Chain A
Amino acid sequence: MADSDEDFVLESSGDERGPRTRGSRRQTRKSKKEDASAAPRREKWEDIQRSWDTVVEAADGSIAGAVIGLLEATKRKRLLRDTTPIQRGIIRHLVLVLDLSSAMVEKDLRPTRFLLTLRYARDFVTEYFEQNPISQLSIVAMHDGLAMRISDMGGNPSDHLTALQEKAFPLEPKGASSLQNALEMARAELFHTPSHGTREIFVIFGALSSSDPADIHETINALVDDRIQIRVVGLAAQVAVCREMVMKTNDGDDSGYGVVLDEAHYRELMMAATSPPITKSESTSTPSLLMMGFPSRTVENFETLCSCHSNLTKGGYICPRCSSKICFLPTECPCCGLTLILSTHLARSYHHLFPLKNWVEVPWSDAHLSTHCFSCHFAFPLNPPPTSPSKSRQSHGLTTKGFEKGSQSQNNSTQNAVSQRYACPDCKTHFCIDCDIFAHESLHNCPGCQAVPASVTKGRANVSSTTTANSRKLVGHNMKTQVAEATKMLEKSKIAPGNGTGSSMDVDV
């Protein structure tokens, strides 16, 4: 089951791009074959790759080294992405369309497609708002030929999460799914969104057909006119109309359409939609200046009603324009309509603007420079025999913690294909694979550049040189310094009154 899915996806994600009005699965294959007949070659399914063929035994018969190599390769696969600073749509408006047709009862994804989709949708909501704090989301379901709204367009993750609770979920998968109805509803929801933000629809499509009331191609053209971008995740197989609408709404690029192979791949595809989309053409959004309020937090002695949910709360944020009390940020003031955010929400989006460079694998020839990971002290394997520990720059041994000792002795005995070291191109510090992933996925800093004195300035110089090279890229260093200066001022202004009223202990001599 899984194998046949895989074969098909591999083939269909090929490079043919021609617009196809209505192509079934059969047709796709046929045309592909015709192309291939010009130069006879082996078909994809004839080349069988057995995972055990690629494993090479070490001299002593152990395969530990090869296994580590494979593990790292899979970890690494996720990591290598384009790191040039590119303009991205930071302020997003996204409609998540879930399929609740009878196809979702299938159990090829455990426990069922429906339950797994709900679970992943909750993860998606959390991750989406973590990555895009000043964005909006809405959830729509395709159920029994109709489009049903699950949650309204809003910026509060908890609203969406409660709507997606398994036990309280109002709908059971039933009937056919209608793409057109869902797209029209999503289009109507995105109609009023401001022009500076992105407009996106993200469809989870489990069925293989769509039963529509009218011509779906008209809807697709209308979506293109409204500059709405569509991404689709298919759960069964590629559907031609999905591919067509992804291509048409993304300037001919079909990378936003993926068909899942298994549960992990499903999750990967969903999470890929959480990072802000690259702004491809100027027309997708008009840059503009947004008026935003930075409210201050208050604590009250008595409970008062908040103006957003009419709940009794003992504190909250006060809108700087109309002084109404709000219990959750970021939001739009329910009273005066001002967008209210915290400065930390803006800071959360900055890492999209300054991505961390990919680290490079260190060849064995340079591996002697380090014996352990710079930041987590994970011991690296020593070289294959030629380089003895005494040659390394730092003498080896004298570890204090048990886990380091254990892993060290283990690694000493194996000869590894990879050096397991990864170096930051700026500071040349060596890290382990886990720190590499952590730094790129969570931290968005290089611990080496930040912690090692000399490299700090060097790193900055690199940022400025890359940014001037391309006009589309942001002026990163300029902004960094501006942020810095601004915060400095903020700090000063904050300290001045503090010294007067606060404790005299803090005053400098």
Chain B
Amino acid sequence: MDNVDGTEHYNFKSNPDLPTLQVIIIDTNPVAWELLKQSSGLGFPDALSQILIFANAHLAFSLSNRAAVIANHLDGAHFLSPAPPGSDLTDPDEANLTPEQQKIVSQQKASQYRVFRILEDEVRASYRRLIKSTTVEDLEKNPNGSALSGALGLALTYINRVCFGGTGGRSGGAEEKVKINSAGGKVDDTGRMMHAKILIVSVTPDPAPQYISVMNGVFAAQRLKVPIDVCKLRESTVFLQQAADATGGVYMEPEHPKGLLQYLMMGFLPDQLARESIILPTKVDVDFRAACFCHKKVLDIGFVCSICLSIFCQPPEGAVCSTCGTKLDVSSLENIGKPVVAPPKKKKKKKVTDSLSESGVASAAQSPAPEG
């Protein structure tokens, strides 16, 4: 009966035109920015101005669009805008200005669009405070420091709050709750009040110890359907390539970092709706190969422990997994490289041993299931 029901032609799934929240994660590691400046001439102040223009462009698209900026600093992640409630927002540098300079500044600010100004003031003030709190020892201790997973965590929890009202994008069981949440504004079927996207402007190398936590963040973004865009100005990276690929975001390594604004505007500005109809300038060949845990070799074919999923380039010594200490059964691997020969016919009752499992014979020999 349902098959001849034609009402679906008339009931178009309403896909409300939702506003977008843009979260920008900026590396604020001074060492990395200095290195970038020496190699390409783009310093942090210029870059920050250009990123702010990008954020303003995003805000200008719609009155209900919003933006958040998170600093991925040496050893921690911090909200630059919106600043944590209760934090001090006075610009530490402004106090030192002469009255005349202050007048000029305030005049400049008076003619600025309020939303832009709030964002810019917050970001600049929070950033100055962040840099003031950073000591030389911190830099020396941790020149490649980055808290990428923390920044991603902050971004995602914030998106969860702003775009989903804290429901985590769960549909189905949470349907009733969503309707309550939607009392005020437009909501799509998953209870999403806003779209969201994350842009990571990165200059630091991959934080290798954070691999698992970064990937956890990436998968959470995937669940929330939040694309992670990556603008990699320095140091090619594997994590962020995989992040952009998994979430459907754009990955770009600008050839001329000085023209950052151009890249940002052309590559990263389009929102979710527009992205459906344009070809994104993303990188297609992503490196998905794995490195083994024993010799750190990059592998095409490797051996994986079935308990802890550690990767080895050859069966470990004594057949004991070096990570979880489990005694492994390697009997199935002994005939690797030898031609696969069908085993002699045995009595039907005989239990199948592992010798079949790895060589691929198992899948071919599906037995007919007893029916009825």
Tell me the A residues contacting B by CB distance below 8 Å.
87, 90-91, 119-120, 123, 130, 145-147, 149, 166-167, 181, 184-185, 188-189, 191-197, 213, 263-264, 267-268, 285-299, 315, 320-321, 332-333, 336-338, 342-344, 346-351, 353-354, 371-373, 375-379, 394-401, 403-404, 431-435, 437-439, 441-447, 449-453, 456, 474-475, 478-491, 493-495, 498, 502-503, 505-509
Contact = CB atoms under 8 A, between A and B. Distances in A.
Contacts of A123: 172
Interface magnitude class on chain B: 35 or more
A193 B354 CA distance: 9
B301 A338 contact: yes
Contact of A376 (B40, B161, B205, B289): B161
Interface string B73-101: 01111110011111101000000000000
**A90, A441, A450, A484 pick with most chain B CB within 10 angstroms:** A450
A223 to B, nearest CB: 14
A371 B85 contact: yes
A401 B68 CA distance: 11
Contacts of A289: 303-306, 312, 315-316, 319, 321, 328-330, 332-333
Given A286-B354, A294-B290, A491-B205, A451 B77 contact: yes
Given A287-B321, A506-B236, A443 B216 contact: yes
A289 B310 CA distance: 10
Interface in B239-265: 239, 242, 246, 253, 255-257
Contacts of B168: 434, 437-438, 441-442
Contact of A484 (B118, B154, B208): B208
A66 to B, nearest CB: 17
A191 B312 CA distance: 28
Contacts of B40: 505
B135 interface: no
B224 interface: yes
B238 A400 contact: no
B309 A438 contact: no
A445 B216 contact: yes
Contacts of A197: 306
A12 B236 CA distance: 59
Given A287-B321, A400-B118, A443-B220, A438 B290 contact: no
Given A347-B215, A371-B85, A439-B157, A447 B357 contact: no
A188 B369 contact: yes
A188 B224 CA distance: 38
Nearest to A403: B162
A504 to B, nearest CB: 9
B61 interface: no
Interface string B1-32: 01100000000000000000000000000000
A444 B216 contact: yes
A128 B313 CA distance: 29
Nearest to A485: B296
Contact of B76 (A443, A452, A484, A495): A452
Contacts of A194: 332, 354, 357-358, 362
24 contacts: A87-B307, A146-B372, A181-B371, A287-B321, A288-B354, A296-B289, A337-B364, A353-B308, A353-B309, A372-B84, A375-B154, A394-B85, A399-B85, A400-B118, A401-B82, A445-B213, A451-B77, A451-B150, A451-B153, A453-B75, A475-B325, A489-B296, A502-B236, A506-B236
Contact of B161 (A119, A196, A434, A493): A434
B321 A505 contact: no
Nearest to A152: B366
Contact of A348 (B160, B215, B308, B360): B215
A247 to B, nearest CB: 24
Given A343-B288, A400-B82, A267 B39 contact: no
Nearest to B174: A264
Contacts of B83: 400
A288 B332 contact: yes
Interface in B275-295: 284-293
Given A320-B300, A377-B161, A487 B238 contact: yes
Given A375-B157, A399-B85, A450-B147, A346 B311 contact: yes
B303 A480 contact: no
Contacts of B216: 350-351, 443-445
B49 interface: no
**B166, B220, B239 pick with most chain A CB within 10 angstroms:** B166
